[in-house]
């Protein structure tokens, strides 16, 4: 008998009819001999409705009270799903965060899970009940209500699976799995059967939106296999799990594209020790995430420095950089938001050489100019012109043998 944690997002519980379908699915899964813990999000639209009410009062509501407000959305969902399961002849018991001691730190709006008490859930399971848990929420050590940030229900589900020592954490979504790349950009994209935690982490960080990055970190830390699958179909989806030896046979698991990138270049920076810290510390203090950094070889004691930020941070980053550089007597700053970051990810890179060369050659063949390069153990990222992004994704997808056979 398997213990399965299932997570259903806002679309899956977006109407009474859909809640009834999920209820039927839960009962069916239990009747096959499984023990079930089900994590649900707020009904689609509900969180935004609540945020809208608060925004009529102020643009800067207290994060503590916002968490009190928005967590009601998940509470409504768990009650309705429990009622639906009982109405369909099953047995269920719902829990909000404090009822299962889902303890977090006190960072309202982006809290991190610290502990979960599993007694009450095990007790309910033992009594034959389907356990329903409100996703996205927690309580801090003083009993204040916290939330885990957008998409936090994924993390709730994985954390519950870890605490309960579940066999698998199933994440139900509106697509039927994780793809080698965005099918919207590349029609030859293929569903991935198995992907290693590290690979998924890179892909999620690089813009693949199927799973929240932190849920993958959690799954990796506690070695919880995740099964990403469709709410609307019984077919198997994609498994995210610990790296297996056979995985290394595949050099590249997927291709990611981040169009939300922008580039800032500082010309003729004085090449003295500590200069990089002087530039990047103020950006970090402003909460701006600097991604790829490229510094040319020094020439005449000055150098060019280029880095990328999220395009939504561009204006702020440019202002900060201008202020810093003005103080240093440098004024040559340019920016460019017409860029995209295309990356190939694969754990197999560790044991295969020449992957970067192959990637660069593929882009060259496609006539695409590479502006910046950044690599990690299992990832190669290239910054290219925005207009080249789609072609770059397709070229890499084909080059590394990811195209589907259809």
- Among 3, 11, 20, 232, which residue interacts with its own copies (rule: CB under 8 A)? 20
Report the residue number, 140 or 198, with the smaller CB distance to its own copies.
140
Range 122-126 contact pairs with CB under 8 angstroms and sequence separation of 24 or more: 122/164, 124/93, 125/3, 125/35, 125/36, 125/37
Report the residue number, 70 or 166, with the smaller CB distance to its own copies.
70
Q: Which window, 72-80, 169-177, 240-248, 349-357, contacts its own copies (CB under 8 A)? A: 72-80
- Among 62, 165, 331, 376, which residue interacts with its own copies (rule: CB under 8 A)? 62
Locate 155 and state its tokens: 């993390």
Report the residue number, 75 or 404, with the smaller CB distance to its own copies.
75
Cα gap 384→258, rounded to integer Å: 11
Interface with its own copies, residue 3, by CB under 8 A = no
C-alpha distances (whole Å) from 388 to each of 185, 337, 368, 384 are: 12, 13, 6, 6
Report the residue number, 34 or 99, with the smaller CB distance to its own copies.
99
- Among 64, 191, 322, 385, which residue interacts with its own copies (rule: CB under 8 A)? 64
Locate 278 and state its tokens: 């002087």
Report the residue number, 78 or 325, with the smaller CB distance to its own copies.
78
Cα gap 159→215, rounded to integer Å: 8
Interface with its own copies, residue 51, by CB under 8 A = no
Interface with its own copies, residue 86, by CB under 8 A = yes
Strands 290-295 and 226-230: unpaired
- Among 21, 44, 51, 61, which residue interacts with its own copies (rule: CB under 8 A)? 61
Q: What is the DSSP letter of 348?
A: G
Least Cβ distance, residue 102 to its own copies (angstroms): 12
Locate 388 and state its tokens: 């080249």
Least Cβ distance, residue 81 to its own copies (angstroms): 9
Interface with its own copies, residue 24, by CB under 8 A = no
Report the residue number, 69 or 333, with the smaller CB distance to its own copies.
69
Least Cβ distance, residue 287 to its own copies (angstroms): 22
Closest to 356 measured CA to CA, from 245, 254, 252, 258: 252
**CA–CA–CA angle 40, 44, 49 (5° rounding):** 115
- Among 79, 276, 293, 356, which residue interacts with its own copies (rule: CB under 8 A)? 79
- Among 32, 33, 56, 246, which residue interacts with its own copies (rule: CB under 8 A)? 56
C-alpha distances (whole Å) from 243 to each of 36, 217, 248 are: 26, 14, 8
Let me know: does 296 contact 303? Beta carbons within 8 Å.
yes
Output phi, psi for 261, to 5 deg: -120, 155
- Among 12, 41, 71, 147, which residue interacts with its own copies (rule: CB under 8 A)? 71
Site string for its own copies, 117-146 (x = CB under 8 A): ---x----------------------xxx-
Let me know: does 108 contact 67? Beta carbons within 8 Å.
yes
Q: Which window, 52-60, 194-202, 289-297, 388-396, contacts its own copies (CB under 8 A)? A: 52-60
Cα gap 117→124, rounded to integer Å: 13
Interface with its own copies, residue 84, by CB under 8 A = yes
Give the number of residues in contact with its own copies, rule: CB under 8 A.
Answer: 38
Interface with its own copies, residue 66, by CB under 8 A = yes
Report the residue number, 64 or 350, with the smaller CB distance to its own copies.
64
Burial of 303 by CB count in 10 Å (0-12 exposed, 13-18 middle, 19+ buried)? middle
Report the residue number, 88 or 316, with the smaller CB distance to its own copies.
88
Interface with its own copies, residue 107, by CB under 8 A = no
Q: What is the DSSP string of 306-326?
A: EEEEEGGGHHHHHHHHHHHHH
Locate 215 and state its tokens: 């849920």
Closest to 27 measured CA to CA, from 91, 112, 74, 79: 91
Integer Rg of the chain from CA = 24
Positions that interact with its own copies (CB under 8 A): 16, 19-20, 50, 53-54, 56-58, 61-62, 64-66, 68-69, 71-72, 75-76, 78-80, 82-84, 86-87, 92-94, 96, 98-99, 120, 143-145
């Amino acid at each position: 008998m398997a213990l399965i944690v299932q997570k259903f997002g806002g679309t899956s519980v977006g109407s009474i009819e859909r809640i009834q379908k999920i209820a039927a699915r839960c009962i069916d899964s239990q009747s096959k001999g499984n023990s079930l813990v089900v994590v649900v999000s707020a009904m689609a639209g509900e969180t935004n409705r609540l945020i809208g009410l608060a925004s009529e009062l102020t643009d800067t509501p207290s994060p503590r009270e916002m968490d009190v407000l928005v967590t009601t959305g998940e509470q409504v969902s768990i009650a309705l799903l429990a009622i639906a399961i009982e109405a369909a002849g099953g047995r269920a018991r719902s829990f909000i965060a404090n009822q299962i001691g889902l303890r977090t730190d006190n960072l309202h709006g982006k809290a991190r899970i610290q502990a979960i008490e599993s007694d009450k859930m095990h007790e309910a399971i033992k009594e034959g009940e389907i356990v329903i848990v409100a996703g996205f929420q927690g309580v801090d050590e003083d009993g204040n209500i916290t939330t885990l940030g957008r998409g936090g229900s994924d993390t709730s589900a994985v954390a519950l699976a870890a605490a309960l020592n579940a066999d698998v954490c199933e994440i139900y979504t509106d697509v039927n799995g994780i793809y080698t790349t965005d099918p919207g950009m590349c029609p030859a994209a293929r569903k991935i059967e198995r992907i290693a935690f590290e690979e998924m982490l890179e892909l999620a960080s690089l813009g693949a939106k199927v799973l929240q990055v932190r849920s993958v970190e959690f799954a990796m830390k506690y070695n919880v296999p995740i099964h990403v699958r469709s709410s609307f179909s019984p077919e198997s989806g994609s498994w995210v799990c610990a790296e297996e030896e056979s995985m290394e046979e595949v050099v590249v698991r997927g291709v990611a594209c981040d169009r939300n990138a922008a580039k800032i270049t500082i010309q003729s920076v004085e090449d003295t020790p500590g200069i990089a810290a002087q530039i990047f510390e103020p950006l970090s203090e402003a909460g701006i995430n600097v991604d790829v950094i490229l510094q040319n070889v020094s020439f005449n004691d000055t150098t060019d420095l280029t880095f990328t930020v999220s395009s939504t941070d561009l204006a702020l980053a440019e202002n900060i950089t201008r202020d810093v550089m003005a103080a240093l007597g440098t004024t040559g700053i340019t920016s460019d938001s017409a860029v995209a970051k295309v990356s190939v990810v694969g754990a197999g890179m560790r044991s295969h050489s020449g992957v970067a060369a192959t990637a660069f050659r593929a882009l060259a063949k496609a006539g695409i100019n590479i502006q910046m390069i950044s690599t990690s153990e299992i990832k190669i990222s290239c910054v290219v012109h925005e207009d080249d992004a789609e072609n770059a994704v397709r070229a890499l997808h084909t080059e590394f043998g990811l195209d589907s056979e259809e």
